[in-house]
């Protein structure tokens, strides 16, 4: 098995609590909260479950998009305006496209269905979960490269892991 990477995204939408601020009647406000989680997992053999060796959760990224209601009337202008506002956030291209699509479907779609075109304030929570799964051979190759960069050999290490390290075939291809 080769190393694989999978990315999952979640999108939750709800009205902002009245304590945040009162919506301005001619503006739509979308508060974005983006949290990213990256995991590195090792699969020792195909029949076993993966072992998590690294799990990093980033601090929540907050951004506020203010959208004039005049910009929401025409779908093509609305799409350009939202794209322009999101581009200033320096998001990954795929994440930017996902968020833009979800805002279009969920926020503006709901506004069109409900017929409500006054000011609004909405919170959009986006979760990005990325998992890198390494197979045992890949982990062994990485370990060998690290040992060689540091000038360390398995024979010079002391401790209970020495026996396992000497069994690694450090042939770099």
Rounded to an integer, the average pLDDT of 20-47 is 80
Residue 89's pLDDT is what?
Answer: 86
Residue 172's pLDDT is what?
Answer: 44
Question: pLDDT for 115-170, tens place per residue?
Answer: 666 677 889 999 999 999 888 788 788 878 887 777 665 555 555 544 444 444 44
pLDDT reading at 14 higher than 80: yes
Question: pLDDT for 41-95, tens place per residue?
Answer: 888 877 778 888 899 999 999 999 888 877 777 778 888 888 888 888 888 888 8
Rounded to an integer, the average pLDDT of 101-121 is 76
- Per the structure, the count of domains in the chain is 1
CA of residue 96 relative to chain centroid, distance: 11
91: containing domain: 4-136
N-terminal to C-terminal alpha carbon distance within the chain: 17
* Domain contains 172: no
- How large is the C-alpha radius of gyration of the chain? 24
State both tokens at 82.
């939202």
* Domain contains 159: no
113 neighbors 98 (Cβ within 8 angstroms): no
* Domain contains 118: yes
Answer whether 0.75 is exceeded by the pTM: no
Q: Which residues contact 85 (CB under 8 A, 6 or more apart)?
A: 65, 66, 67
* Domain contains 156: no
């Amino acid at each position: 098995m080769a190393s694989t990477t999978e990315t999952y995204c979640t999108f939750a939408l709800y009205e902002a609590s009245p304590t945040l601020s009162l919506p301005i009647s001619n503006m739509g406000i979308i508060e974005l909260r983006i949290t990213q989680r990256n995991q590195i997992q090792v699969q020792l053999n195909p029949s076993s479950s993966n072992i998590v060796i690294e799990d990093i959760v980033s601090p929540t990224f907050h951004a506020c998009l203010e959208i004039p209601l005049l910009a929401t009337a025409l779908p093509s202008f609305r799409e350009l305006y939202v794209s322009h506002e999101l581009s200033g956030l320096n998001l990954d291209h795929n994440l930017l496209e996902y968020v833009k699509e979800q805002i279009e479907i969920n926020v503006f779609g709901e506004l069109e269905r409900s017929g409500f075109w006054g000011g609004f304030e909405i919170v959009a929570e986006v979760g990005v979960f990325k998992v890198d799964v390494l197979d045992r051979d890949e982990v062994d190759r990485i370990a060998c490269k690290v040992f060689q960069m540091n000038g360390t050999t398995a024979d010079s290490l002391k401790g209970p892991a020495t026996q396992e390290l000497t069994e690694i075939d450090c042939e770099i291809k």
